[in-house]
Chain A
Amino acid sequence: MVGYFLTPDEHKNKTLFASSIIFYFIGEPVYVFLLLFSILIDYYHSCVIDAHYGKRKAKIALISSIVINVGLLSFFKYSDFILQNINSLLSTDFPLLKIPLPIGISFFTFQTMSYTIDVYRGQAKAQKSFLGLGTYVSLFPQLIAGPIVRYQSISSDLLHRQHSFEKVYYGLARFVIGLSKKVIFANSFGVLANEIIGATQPDVLLYWLSAAAYILQIYYDFSGYSDMAIGLGSIFGFQFPENFRYPYSAGSITEFWRRWHITLGQWFRDYVYVPLGGSRNGSLKTGFNLLVVWGLTGLWHGASWNFIIWGIGFSIILGLEKTVILRVLGKMPRSFRHFYVIMLVMLSFVVFRFDDLKMVFSVYQGMFGFLDIPAFSHESLYHLKSYIILFIIGGIGATPIVAHNITKIIEHMKGAKWLGVLEAAGLGFIYLLSASYLVDGSFNPFLYFRF
């Protein structure tokens, strides 16, 4: 970061590109060539599209780019899943490839595809500089876990961007808050969520605690990472799109998906749902389109049937909401609508969480008392007591209440120097606290790294 700010403006992209490649090399020494290949492919194809804009050659280049990108993603992410299904369907015995998944491939492939498609559509100008495109694709803050940044949203920033103390401070604050969301909240909820796995004497309460902890874990994990990415982006002068807007405060699943992993939802809307016809061709076609989009959204999350089922499940809920439920929900009190969302999200994430569908079924049985287990035990009450404050803080933190009130106070006290010091001190404390969790923690998985 220090090196970046010491670099003259005209060379800042070089510094960013080089540090992004080093960053990726640290995590994936071999696959760094895959990343460079992916950039090269889309650089070349976008140049061809640009040179032959509106002509057949442009279309061929677009198709070629999509085939290569989808091919790369399929090969590295889905080949074993495809082989497994072929083997079980045709009783064949094709050996699995067992290729390690390149970190962030789902994110950078979607970014490069969106770029080439936008160039084809005339919504973005082709980047003439390989370095420029390389910097966009490999930007390390969002390279491995999003948000999925559309080229057109930062194309001007890539050429000329402003750096300011405001942006740096905002970036530091977002980064520190994101870090704390990940290492303090997500990891702590993760420990409780995992209590159910291997529990010798589970009970109904423990199943529910685990499910509740899991939805908070995944929210804090993923939104924390997005915050860090947005924060780092701001420090470097970029404005990345928001990826989460308090999804658990939604009053319907439709609203939930407008608040959860926003950039992925927008990607599928713009590049799959709308081209398929969206909701323009009657309810049957709309239903089919939803099914395709959400099946693919599920598949994007992982090469396993549980993800596909999870996605399709949402397509059904969204279809029902479009036709019936939203009208009914509109007449219900706000608290009921939140309850409805939280319950459905909690139940759906059980499918998301376990790739073994037998386990999913067993968890549902446990949650609804269909297993021969007690309603609660000393162990689950102990966990409840131990995590109650974290649940309260985590639950409130997942709503806009805290941010809204802090913003209000800051606005009200604007100009008070002591408030600035207090704010910085608070941020410093959160940073040190996060560092203490990193130093003393062994449980530190980034759930979304597998995508």
Chain B
Amino acid sequence: MYSRMKTILVAVLILSITLLNLIKTDNEISIWERRKLKQFPEIKVETLVSGKWFLDFEDYALDQIVFRHEFRQLKVWFEESVLGKQDVSGLFSEKNHIFKMIDYKSITELERFVAYIESLKEDYFHNNKIYYVHIPDKTSYSDREQLVQMEAATEAFLKENLLGLSFISISNKLSLEHFYETDTHWRQETLHPIVDVIFDGMDTQIQYDEKDFIIKTHPSFLGVLYGQLPSHREHEALLYMNHPNFQSYSIFDYEKGLIDMYDESKLSGLDAYDVFLSGASPILEINNPHAQTDKELIVFRDSFGSSILPLLSFNYAKIIAVDTRYVTSSYLSGTIDFSKDQDVLFLYSSGIVHNFETLR
């Protein structure tokens, strides 16, 4: 009787999960993980014989398992709260923020990043004013001393070794409040002091009035880090700053064509941060008809650039933003006219600096 009850309880649990999996319809994508989920693999004789079908089926079963998100939450809770792991696959929670540790490269390896910037300078920019802004990783604002030191060492190295350009440090102006709780990126609405420091380093001044912005709010934002370290938490707000002038801007994405400064359709997509300049783009031009100068700015940037470029745009007639993760640098000479009066700004986050192999 005693054994029967225990057996039935455990068997019911196991069987009910199996049964629910059989009933459940397959999902195309995982919103939290921001990826397509494996679909039922096609049955072919050759994949059956080679064993590939069974491996594909295993991936499919794990992707489509019922309560997948809740299972992932359970694991994170157990590792963080019971085992007291310092990180879960490189991610950790602190001060209500989720952090993802970057794989810091050695100084010797970073010399290759410096060489990459040098080669861009030599190929394209001989008489331009060149600026470099290093965006510290969010983890350097956590309580983990080692990460703070690694980031400080990175900035010090870049400052010392990137020659022939003006290095603008923003690390002291940034704090954890400048970043989303569930994302690696910074919050656009907090960037005025940062823009101020950057322009100060570029010998210019902010040419907009903060009061003219219309702040729009997307209340239910959960960033990319939430999908990687799922735990129970509230949504946060994603704010973006619209300006009446933006309506008359002409923004041309070399892949997508004409786009808006803010693509609100992205707010309901996989990554709401893509609201800024429609997300990733190899090259785009922001033309500002209200500019009181003919000056142009060429920005080599990563995704952090998308949210700060709208604020930088007031000072230039045109901004050309290049993301060399998606376009080879050798392609630029035939595409961009480098002969004009142009400032050059390198705006890279630490995550990209330490993963510079992605730059082409």
Contact = CB atoms under 8 A, between A and B. Distances in A.
Interface of A: 2, 26-30, 164-166, 168-169, 172-173, 176, 188, 200, 378, 382, 385-390, 393, 415, 417, 420-421, 423-425, 427-428, 431-433, 435-440
Contact of B9 (A28, A424, A435): A424
A439 B76 CA distance: 12
A433 B78 contact: yes
Nearest to B18: A2
Find the residue from B2, B65, B84, B146 having the highest chain A CB count within 10 A.
B2
A30 B76 CA distance: 39
Contact of A389 (B7, B83, B146): B83
Nearest to A184: B78
B87 interface: yes
Interface in B1-44: 2-7, 9-11, 13-15, 17
A178 B23 CA distance: 28
Q: Is the interface of A mostly helix, strand, loop or mixed?
A: helix
Contact of A420 (B6, B84, B146): B6
A114 B302 CA distance: 64
Contacts of A166: 3
Contact of A386 (B72, B76, B85): B85
A172 B146 contact: no
Interface in B67-107: 68, 71-72, 74-76, 78, 82-87, 106
A54 B146 CA distance: 75
A29 B71 contact: no
Interface in B277-302: none
Interface of B: 2-7, 9-11, 13-15, 17, 48-51, 54, 62, 65, 68, 71-72, 74-76, 78, 82-87, 106, 146
B284 to A, nearest CB: 35
A168 B7 contact: yes
A126 to B, nearest CB: 34
Contacts of A173: 10
A440 B72 contact: yes
15 contacts: A164-B3, A166-B3, A200-B106, A382-B146, A385-B86, A386-B84, A386-B87, A420-B2, A420-B5, A424-B9, A431-B10, A431-B13, A433-B75, A436-B75, A439-B62
Contacts of A427: 6, 10
B54 A428 contact: no
A60 to B, nearest CB: 37
Given A27-B54, A420-B5, A435-B71, A389 B13 contact: no
Nearest to B2: A420
A172 B72 contact: no
Contact of A440 (B14, B17, B51, B75): B75
Contacts of B10: 169, 172-173, 176, 424, 427-428, 431
Given A432-B74, A440-B72, A169 B7 contact: yes
Contact of A165 (B3, B51, B54, B76): B3
B14 A439 contact: no
A388 B62 contact: no
A417 B5 CA distance: 9
A95 B62 CA distance: 40
B7 to A, nearest CB: 4
A2 B48 CA distance: 25
Contacts of B3: 164-166, 169
Given A169-B10, A433-B74, A386 B54 contact: no
Contacts of A428: 9-10, 13
Find the residue from A168, A188, A423, A440 having the highest chain B CB count within 10 A.
A440
A28 B3 CA distance: 37
A30 B84 CA distance: 45
Nearest to A191: B89
Contacts of B5: 417, 420-421, 424
Contacts of B48: 29
Contact of B49 (A30, A172, A393, A435): A30
Nearest to B75: A436
Contacts of A388: 84
A388 to B, nearest CB: 7
Contact of B74 (A164, A423, A436): A436
Contact of A172 (B7, B71, B76): B7
Given A420-B2, A423-B6, A440-B71, A386 B86 contact: yes
A165 B71 contact: no
Given A29-B50, A168-B7, A169-B3, A382 B86 contact: yes
A432 B106 contact: no
A282 to B, nearest CB: 51
A201 B36 CA distance: 37
Contacts of B7: 165, 168-169, 172
A432 B71 contact: yes
A433 B72 CA distance: 9
Contacts of B78: 433, 436
Nearest to B52: A29
B54 A439 contact: no
A439 B85 contact: no
B146 A439 contact: no
Given A27-B51, A29-B51, A165-B7, 17 more contacts: A28-B51, A164-B3, A168-B11, A382-B86, A415-B2, A417-B5, A420-B6, A424-B6, A425-B9, A427-B10, A428-B9, A431-B14, A435-B17, A436-B71, A439-B68, A440-B72, A440-B75
Contacts of A172: 7, 10-11, 14
Contacts of A378: 146
B135 to A, nearest CB: 24
Find the residue from B10, B17, B48 having the highest chain A CB count within 10 A.
B10
Contacts of A386: 84-87
Nearest to A200: B106
Contacts of A382: 86, 146
A387 B83 CA distance: 8
Contacts of B13: 428, 431-432
Contact of A439 (B2, B15, B72): B72
Contacts of B72: 436, 439-440
